[in-house]
Amino acid sequence: MESIGLYIHIPFCRQKCLYCDFPSWAGREGQMQMYVDALTAEIRAQGKRYENREVVSVFFGGGTPTALEIPMLAQLMQAIRESFRVTADAELTTEANPGTLSYEMAAALKKMGFNRLSMGVQAWQNSILHRLGRIHTIEEFLENYHAVRQAGFENVNVDLMFALPGQSMAQWQETVRQIAALKPEHISAYSLIIEEGTPFYESYRTGKLELVSEEMDREMYHWTVDTLAEWGYGQYEISNFAKVGRQSRHNRIYWQAEEYLGMGLGAHSYMDGKRFHNSYDLQKYISAKGDTSLLREDTELITETDALAEFMFLGLRLTEGVSFVRFRQRFGKEMDTVYGKELQELAELGLLLRDESGVRLSRRGIDVSNAVFERFLL
């Protein structure tokens, strides 16, 4: 039986962060139950369509899933378990942002079957958190983190961001060291990207937002990789670090170009050789009541050329790189037959490392990874 991952989108939050471009809203509490009912209907409809697939990962993202009330989250999890073949050892993750968590919420999530939490702290300094538009203080994060541990969660990810406006190297170093000292099983560290349509973009466009230099961005990144290794976190992807045996299955499904089904507002999917996403219109989503023919937008048939390129540039995000064997198993071709010229040129530039098992990015290749990935777009 083929396996898939599920992504469940919750588009609500207490307050929208100034850098966020995800489909999410604050102050829509009155629509939450209607949305959950519509999402439940979509889950049940898709469960019938994909009843022959085994679910090995479920990820609730947003927005802020824990902005929902406990019974709403329980309703969704029950629908998933009743509608899909969820394996006994499946990774069941929810994002749970500080400021929306309590021991009661954490204990309820554990009882529902969630076995992994992802907490977005971003920075250790309250001044930076305020600048980002985050609703929590670092003191609230610590209280929430200990509540999560007390509730029995043994697999926790913490999201961090660097190269933030006004952030010094010393502040970033304090953030990483303080979080590592808490010993979460997984740490994600992302460089700030200014997305069009966000308040940060407007501030940047009008010269009111001063970003760190590219050199400082890279210095912060390289320091992070080296320091987290000292704390026992193995880097397994450009921005992700984990203790032994704690890599995110949800993440790996995406980077290994495996199938995943997204449900909820604007959720993206990669199924049956197609990419598609749901409508971004909240009222349209609620009105559709789970009718996927009314929800689905922008279906794209993935050609073999597209699939080859995606397999390479997604797989190269992993530090293990892309295996010759997996490439052959997926496409029935040798990697060198398709990309021999590109592989040789990138290796000669010192951006790609090659051994008998496959190819992977060098440290310098990671720094210019987008340029490397473009080489595989035939």
Report the pLDDT value the prediction gives residue 213, as an integer from 0 to 100: 86
- Residue 93 Cα distances to 59, 155, 171, 250, 371, angstroms: 5, 9, 29, 8, 32
- CA distance linking residue 122 with residue 247, whole number of Å: 19
- Where residue 16 falls among pLDDT bands split at 50, 70, 90? very low
SS3 assignment, position 154: coil
Report the pLDDT value the prediction gives residue 99, as an integer from 0 to 100: 80
pLDDT tens digit string along 48-79?
999 999 999 999 998 889 999 999 999 999 99
Are 283 and 30 a contacting pair, CB within 8 Å?
no
Backbone CA torsion sign across 219, 220, 226, 227: positive
pLDDT tens digit string along 210-227?
777 889 999 999 999 999
pLDDT tens digit string along 92-151?
999 998 888 999 999 999 999 999 999 989 889 988 888 777 777 889 999 999 999 999
Domains annotated for the chain, with CATH where assigned, are: 3-255 (3.20.20.70), 305-374 (1.10.10.920)
Question: Can you say whether residue 29 is alpha, beta or left, with left for phi > 0 and alpha for psi between -120 and 50 degrees?
Answer: alpha
Higher pLDDT, 213 or 186: 186
pLDDT tens digit string along 248-280?
999 999 999 999 999 999 999 999 999 999 999
Spatial neighbors of 39 by CB under 8 A, at least 6 apart, are: 8, 76, 263, 264, 290
pLDDT tens digit string along 92-107?
999 998 888 999 999 9
SS3 assignment, position 161: strand
Share of the chain above pLDDT 70, in %: 91
Report the pLDDT value the prediction gives residue 100, as an integer from 0 to 100: 81
Report the pLDDT value the prediction gives residue 29, as an integer from 0 to 100: 75
Q: Is the pLDDT of residue 19 over 80?
A: no
Q: Is the pLDDT of residue 198 over 70?
A: no
Least confident of 196-205, 313-322, 362-371: 196-205
pLDDT tens digit string along 222-249?
999 999 999 999 999 999 999 999 999 9
- CA distance linking residue 273 with residue 296, whole number of Å: 15
- CA distance linking residue 295 with residue 41, whole number of Å: 12
